[in-house]
Chain A
Amino acid sequence: MTNGRGCIMKTFKKASALFLAALMLAAQSACQSASKTENAPAGTAAAATQGDQAAQATQEASLKPYQLNCYFLAPQVKDLPMVQEKLSELLTDRINATIKLNYFWFDSYTDKQKLVIASGEAVDTMFVQGFDFNNYVPQKAFLPLDSLIAEYGKNITANINPLYLLSATYKGEIFAIPTQKDMFGVGGVLVNKALADKYGFDFSGVKVPADFEPMLKTIKENEPGIIPLLSTQGDHTVYFTNNLLAMVSWGISHLKTDPEAKVKLSYEFPESIELTRLAEDWYKKGYVNNDVATLQDGMPQKKAQKAFMWAEQLKPGKAEEMSAQLGYELIQVYAHNDMQYYTSSMDLTASMLAINRTSKDPERAMMFIDLLFHDKEVKNLLDWGIEGVHYKKVNENQIDYADGVTAETSGYTGLGQWAMGGSQLIDYLWVNEAPDKWEKMQEFNDSCIPTSLIGFAYSQDNVKSEAAAVSAIVSTQMAPLASGIVNYDEYWPTVRKQLEDAGVNKVLEDAQRQVDEFIASQK
């Protein structure tokens, strides 16, 4: 419950005039250092014109040594110091900078992020996502980036889908650089292939989640000891609902198909009510694990092959990724088929790098982010570690564990490459992955269209107290509905009453007003 403890007032320093002067003086030496860029991989040349190269070289020559301080969503890995040292070498060559990497994984990242921002530590780039972004930006934790992108982010604009930058916009200014990756996901299920084959299930007829029922029934009746649908606190309902609704704030959504984006409580759309009824029905029939309300981690059941299916957010290749992890074959089935898929702000802002207001050299931070979009060597070092130590190349674009190294013994493994910023399309692929994975992903990305609220970030500033009171209810009272352990008609009115007491109507009005203003401004 703390606060500004230990806050030291730190004023943000703009790039000094001295720095600019040095930059101009050094312009003369541009010719000599131009050769440096030739070391950079082909991607650079493709993205940048001859003139840009010369300009870049100028910067490199004139840049003072600087240490970047960067926070990533990544697990604690043993060989981090080694990778950090190697990356510092590369960056010294590219932008005359060294780097301090700070890795924190899901269990601690958001807490750590809060602490770091509150303490005023000088940070250059920081992973941020979704609603955290919506919170920190109005609180002025990050720098607006438009002019920095224009000057130092040529490879970013060349390699990112424009929708991404739009989604990271707040009141007309860009505040973070999203990662170019899969632009949306489809809620669906992963199915144990052996069991599906045993009963000859055909999933091609599945159009909506209710179509899974006959298969669940068969498994329930014939496979005692197997959980037909494994769910942790109703995550299946959440994934299925996400195909239809886009969240605006906690507990508040709009239909993805709705061009007017009429906002309502997430559990008051006919579509979501139907899914809670389905969840209740499945729970009562015993298709869902009986500890669905309290189960926090389904991994042990999945590893032990005790589950027939479970819900996931799917993208091309998801089943192969999970199969490799679990050691048995899986198939993936979208829960909603034959429909138009959408990408929403929540999808596009799932992984971004922001530059903190406390950064001592935002220009250099932007140069670093720019590298992550085109410099294969830098990006893949962050992703997979050091070639020859952690991985080895089998061909131009595919890699395998280095000799004598396995998933268990590698000192740099388990990272989420999607969280390391830049463009995933320059990541190396593993030997067991389809070589055309990135082409597939491009196709997948092209199959979605944006919702009408891309570029809109709801600001709770006007209704802070109500929003806090509402989120206390949303964060605890929705899981029973999603799990299916309560009846919608009995349970929802009591929750609705609590939400109204907490002032949810004021939040809804405020959100709708902001949405309307945004949509009007887009026309």
Chain B
Amino acid sequence: MRALSSFLKELKSNKEMFLMLLPAFIFVLINNYIPMFGIILAFKDFNYLDRFGSPWVGFRNFEFMFMSEAAWRTTRNTIGYNLLFIMLNLLLGVAVAIILNELRHRLLAKLYQSVIFLPYFLSWVIIAYLAYSILSPNGLFNMSIAPFLGIEKIDWYTEPKYWPYILTAVQIWKTIGYGIVIYLAGISGIDQAYYEAAVLDGASKAQQVTQITIPLLVPMMIVTTFLALGNIFRSDFGLFYQVPMQQGLLQPTTDVLDTYIYNSLIFTGDIAMSSAAGFYQSVVGFFVVIAANWAAGKISQDNRVF
């Protein structure tokens, strides 16, 4: 009761703020919370006559994700790639943001930023064909680069060993711009007084970066990392499905949970099993975020997000 009345008081005193929150609140409610009732379908043998009244089947709909060696392979690939992407995006994103921020020529800085950001807006299908035009048996690499360098032609689409590098490079190339924009915004939010004081104290540029910029960016880095960790069990479907051109031979290094689920259910279109898959990914993501928050709190209470 007390909690409620204090909340109402809060609501009253900050009504403009809450009003601004309202659209996002409604969006999340409709888009994320109401559909959650659909979770019960994951435990049912769904049919279109009984719909939500279909018979219960316990955990049977989850079984297909854990059958065969694919379960281990897809889990390893999903988590492995995601950790790699999170790390690289963080390191490179912050590094490039700082460099761009230090550029004196504002016009050039804007230009570089836009060029880096551009691939973010391309669809995966287009990127897949860009990669294909370079890597295919008749592509740029095999027809021009390899003969020029005098090396053997490489059949990229049949050799799984190259794909961790290709996928990582493509992923970073496409998404890095987004992180840079966020970190640039963070940097511009840092009070200039810190830097002025540092200059007066004779701090070098490098010292300013390591002593001021990076420490003040840490909270933002933690938030973006947490957001990414929540999706650790999901992967960018377009990257793993489109870019390797759905080649079965590449699966040891390109098959992730999302592509596996897609390939399993594309023919059967089973609503209950796809609900189970989504549920499983969300639950794992949920616990990873809780664990990460706990771990961040262990290091310093200030770093906890909630």
The reply on B38 being an interface residue by CB < 8 A is yes
Q: Tell me, in angstroms, the Cα distance from A477 to B267 when the chains sit together.
A: 15
User: A9–B51 contact, CB under 8 A?
Assistant: yes
Q: Does B246 contact A (CB under 8 A)?
A: yes
User: How many A residues, CB 8 Å from partner?
Assistant: 51
**In contact, A5 and B35 (Cβ under 8 angstroms):** yes
> In the bound complex, do residue B264 and residue A468 qualify as a contact, i.e. CB atoms below 8 Å apart?
yes
Contact status A4-B51, CB under 8 Å: yes
Q: Do B268 and A135 touch (CB < 8 A)?
A: yes
Rounded to whole Å, the gap between the CB of A85 and the closest CB of chain B is 31
CB-nearest residue of chain A to B67: A469
CA A485 – CA B157 in complex, angstroms? 11
Would you give the 0/1 interface string for A470-497, flagging 1 where the beta carbon is closer than 8 Å to chain B? 0111011111100001100000000000
Enumerate chain A residues within 8 angstroms of B69, measured Cβ to Cβ: 498, 501
Sort chain B's interface into a size bin: 35 or more
CB–CB B68/A498 < 8 A: yes
Can you name the residue of chain B whose Cβ is closest to the Cβ of A501? B68
Q: Residue-by-residue, is B108-144 near A (CB-CB < 8 Å gives 1, otherwise 0)?
A: 0000000000000000000000001000111000000
Q: Which residues of B contact A293 (CB under 8 A)?
A: 157-158, 247, 249
**A467 near B268: Cβ-Cβ < 8 Å:** yes
Chain B nearest CB: distance from A101 CB in Å?
23
Nearest CB of A to B140, in Å: 14
Q: A486 and B249: CB pair below 8 A?
A: yes
Given A4-B271, A502-B70, verify A291-B136 contact (CB < 8 Å).
yes
A2, B274: Cβ atoms under 8 Å? yes
Is A4 a contact partner of B268 (Cβ separation < 8 A)? no
- A316 proximal to B (CB < 8 A): no
Check B248–A477 contact: CB distance below 8 A: yes
Question: Does A411 sit at the interface, judged by CB under 8 A?
Answer: no
Majority DSSP secondary structure for residues of B touching A:
helix
Residues on the B chain within 8 Å of A7, using CB:
38, 51-52
Q: Is the CB of B68 within 8 A of A469?
A: yes
A293 to B70, CA, bound (A): 22
Is A13 an interface residue when CB atoms closer than 8 A count as contact? Answer: no
* Residues 128 to 154 of chain A near chain B (Cβ within 8 Å): 131-132, 135-136, 138-141
A209 at the interface (CB under 8 A from B): no
Q: Is A3 an interface residue (CB 8 A)?
A: yes
Write the A105-128 contact mask toward B (1 if CB under 8 angstroms, else 0).
000001000100110100000000
Q: Which residue of A lies closest to B257 (CB)?
A: A1
- In the assembled complex, the Cα of A9 lies from the Cα of B263 at a distance in Å of 29
Which among A3, A12, A465 is the interface contact of B271 at CB below 8 angstroms?
Answer: A3
Q: How far is the CB of A294 from chain B (nearest CB, A)?
A: 5
Contact A120 B51 (CB under 8 A): yes
Given A131-B267, A477-B248, A472 and B260 touching (CB < 8 A)?
A: yes
Q: Of the candidates A135, A140, A294, A486, which one forms a contact with B136 in the assembled complex, judged by CB atoms under 8 Å apart?
A: A294
Chain B residues closer than 8 Å to A135, beta-carbon distance: 267-270
Complex CA distance for A498 and B275, rounded to whole angstroms? 25
**Residues 223-251 of chain B, each 1 if its beta carbon lies under 8 Å from chain A, else 0:** 00000000000000000000001111101
Which residues 264-300 of B sit at the A interface, judged by CB distance below 8 A? 264-271, 273-275, 277-278, 281
Among candidates A9, A467, A479, residue contacting B248 with C-beta atoms closer than 8 Å = A479
Do the beta carbons of B278 and A1 come within 8 Å of each other? yes
In the bound complex, residues from chain A placing their C-beta under 8 Å from that of B264 are 468-469, 471-472
**Looking across the interface, which residue of chain A has its beta carbon closest to that of B237?**
A1
Contact at A140–B48, with CB atoms within 8 Å? Answer: yes
Q: Report A-chain residues with C-beta under 8 Å of the C-beta of B268.
A: 135, 460, 464, 467-468, 471
**Shortest Cβ gap from A480 to chain B (Å):** 5
Taking the closest CB of chain B, its distance from the CB of A194, in whole angstroms, is 25
Q: In whole angstroms, what is the CA distance A457 to B300 when docked?
A: 62
Instruction: Determine which of A110, A466, A471, A503 lies in contact with B263 in the assembled complex, contact meaning CB atoms within 8 Å.
Output: A471
Decide: A3 and B68 in contact? CB cutoff 8 A: no
Residues of B within 8 A of A5 (CB): 35, 38
CA distance A476 to B259 in the complex (A): 10
Contact B35 A1 (CB under 8 A): no
Distance of A396 from chain B, by nearest CB (Å): 44
Query: What chain A residues lie within 8 Å of B278 (beta carbons)?
Result: 1-3
The verdict on A141 contacting B48 (CB below 8 Å), with A486-B249, A503-B68 known, is yes
Residues of chain B from 152 to 201 with CB closer than 8 A to chain A in the complex: 157-158
CA distance A342 to B154 in the complex (A): 43
A53 CB, nearest partner CB in chain B, Å: 36
A130, chain B: closest CB distance, angstroms: 10
| A4 B275 Cβ-Cβ under 8 A | yes
Q: Taking CB as reference atom, which chain B residue is nearest A249?
A: B267
Q: Closest residue to B42 on the A side, CB-wise?
A: A3
Across-interface contacts of B42 in A (CB, < 8 A): 3
Q: Is the CB of B38 within 8 A of A294?
A: no
Residues of A with C-beta under 8 A to B100: none
Let me know if B51 and A478 touch, CB within 8 A.
no
Task: Report the minimum CB–CB distance from B280 to chain A (whole Å).
Answer: 10
Q: Is B207's beta carbon under 8 Å from chain A?
A: no
Scoring B49, B251, B261, B267 by chain A CB atoms within 10 A of each residue's CB, the highest score goes to B267
Whether, in the assembled complex, A224 has its beta carbon less than 8 Å from a beta carbon of chain B, the answer is no
Complex: A2 Cα to B273 Cα, angstroms: 10
Taken together as a complex, chains A and B put the C-alpha atoms of A521 and B246 apart, in Å, by 41
Complex: how many Å from CA A140 to CA B261?
23
Q: Which residues of A contact B49 (CB under 8 A)?
A: 12, 140, 357
Q: Does chain A have a CB within 8 A of B15?
A: no
Q: Is the CB of B248 within 8 A of A476?
A: yes
Write out the residue numbers on chain A whose beta carbons fall within 8 Å of the beta carbon of B60. 464-465
Are A472 and B41 interface neighbours, CB within 8 A?
A: no
Asked if A471 and B267 sit within 8 Å, CB to CB, the answer is yes
Q: Which residue of B lies closest to A9 (CB)?
A: B51
Is A33 an interface residue when CB atoms closer than 8 A count as contact? Answer: no
* B47 contacts A by Cβ under 8 Å: yes
Which of A4, A6, A498 is close to B41, meaning CB atoms less than 8 Å apart?
Answer: A4
Asked if A118 contacts B68 (CB within 8 A), the reply is: no
Determine how close the nearest CB of chain A comes to the CB of B39; give it in whole angstroms.
Answer: 8
Instruction: Tell me if B46 is interfacial: C-beta within 8 Å of chain A.
Output: yes
Mask: chain A, 236-266; 1 = CB below 8 Å from B; 0 = not: 0000000000000010000000000000000
Do A6 and B35 have beta carbons less than 8 Å apart?
Answer: yes
Inter-chain contacts of B16 with A (CB < 8 A): none
Identity of the chain A residue whose Cβ is nearest the Cβ of B276 in the assembled complex: A3
Contact B261 A1, beta carbon cutoff 8 Å: yes
Q: Once the chains bind, are A3 and B35 in contact (CB under 8 Å)?
A: yes
CB within 8 Å for A469 and B70 given contacts A135-B268, A135-B269: yes
Which residue from chain A places its CB closest to the CB of B251 in the assembled complex?
A476
- Across the interface, A501 reaches (CB within 8 A) one of B48, B67, B263, namely B67
A-B contact pairs, 6 of them (CB 8 A): A291-B137, A293-B247, A475-B263, A475-B267, A476-B263, A480-B247
Q: A4-B275, A502-B70 are in contact. List 20 more A-B contacts (CB 8 A).
A: A1-B274, A3-B35, A6-B35, A7-B38, A12-B49, A110-B269, A135-B270, A139-B47, A290-B137, A290-B138, A294-B132, A294-B157, A460-B268, A471-B264, A471-B268, A472-B264, A476-B248, A502-B67, A502-B68, A503-B68
**Nearest 7 Cβ contacts at the A-B interface:** A501-B68, A465-B63, A476-B248, A3-B275, A502-B68, A140-B49, A468-B64
Chain B residues close to A by CB (< 8 Å): 35, 38, 41-42, 46-52, 60-61, 63-64, 67-70, 132, 136-138, 157-158, 245-249, 251, 255, 258, 260-261, 263-271, 273-275, 277-278, 281
Contact surface of A with B, Cβ cutoff 8 Å: 1-7, 9, 12, 110, 114, 117-118, 120, 131-132, 135-136, 138-141, 250, 290-291, 293-294, 296, 357, 460, 464-469, 471-473, 475-480, 485-486, 498, 501-503
